[in-house]
């Protein structure tokens, strides 16, 4: 309970500070089966980067929901953006890392990459211009078209498992 309080205080402090200047932090996203937990923060668009390391620690079983962790940067209207997603399989204890981007409502996904439970992987989403996003995770990298716009939002979340974000930070880039 004490660690949950400390994490809540850290998240509150990060969310009340200027959104694009959060210091590196650790965020334990631990949810029960069939539950979702997410942080959503408004961020600047061009010249913005979010990065860190994700460790999938435990998968939970639910008849409708699968273990998932994700980081997304989206336009205010949810029609443009980019995402790093890890989806686990409770039966095999393996998962898939997928990079995706959305431009004008049409989604493009990269090739899935196998990743195992307990094995951390690094990720980065960088809005490099008004119309392009660079997404990296595991051994993948993709430049994707996405007009994120002036009122972008960053969403960090998980469902049906225990996932830890370490060295998690978001900031403006020159």
Report helix, strand or coil for 118. coil
Q: How confident is the model at residue 5 (pLDDT cuts 50, 70, 90)?
A: very low
In CATH, which of 2.40.50.140, 2.40.50.180, 2.60.120.200, 1.10.274.10 is domain 2-172?
2.60.120.200
CA–CA distance, 27 with 6 (Å, rounded to integer): 10
Contacts of residue 54, Cβ cutoff 8 Å, sequence gap at least 6: 69, 71, 84, 86, 120, 121, 123, 163, 164, 165
Tokens of 87: 């989806």
For residues 52 and 54, give the distance between their C-alpha atoms in angstroms, rounded to a whole number: 7
Q: What's the whole-model pTM score?
A: 0.84
SS3 15: helix
pLDDT, tens digit (0-9, with 9 covering 90-100), for 96-113:
999 998 888 888 888 888
98 vs 87: CA distance, rounded Å: 8
The chain-wide mean pLDDT, for the chain, equals 85
115-149: pLDDT as tens digits: 988 999 999 999 888 788 999 998 899 998 888 87
| CA distances, 125 to each of 25, 70, 100 (Å) | 17, 11, 11
Q: Which secondary structure element, helix H or strand E, spans residue 51, and what is its range?
A: strand 48-59
pLDDT for residue 21: 54
pLDDT digits (tens, 9 = 90+) for 18-33: 444 558 999 999 999 9
Strand spans (E) along 44-120: 48-59, 68-74, 81-89, 94-103, 106-109, 113-116
Q: Is the pLDDT confidence value at 157 over 90?
A: yes
Give residue limits of the domains in the chain: 2-172
Q: How many residues does the chain have?
A: 174
């Amino acid at each position: 309970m004490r660690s949950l309080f400390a994490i809540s205080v850290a998240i509150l402090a990060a969310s009340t500070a200027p959104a694009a200047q959060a210091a590196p932090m650790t965020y334990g996203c631990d949810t029960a089966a069939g539950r979702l937990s997410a942080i959503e923060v408004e961020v600047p668009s061009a010249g913005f980067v979010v990065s860190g390391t994700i460790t999938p620690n435990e998968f939970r079983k639910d008849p409708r929901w699968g273990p998932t962790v994700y980081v997304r940067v989206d336009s205010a209207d949810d029609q443009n953006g980019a995402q790093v997603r890890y989806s686990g399989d409770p039966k095999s204890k393996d998962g898939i890392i997928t990079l995706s981007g959305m431009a004008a409502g049409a989604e493009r996904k990269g090739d899935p990459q196998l990743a195992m439970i307990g094995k951390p992987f690094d990720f980065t989403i960088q809005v490099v211009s008004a119309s392009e996003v660079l997404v990296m995770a595991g051994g993948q990298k993709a430049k994707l078209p996405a007009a994120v716009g002036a009122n972008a939002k960053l969403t960090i979340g998980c469902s049906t498992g225990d996932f830890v974000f370490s060295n998690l930070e978001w900031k403006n880039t020159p």
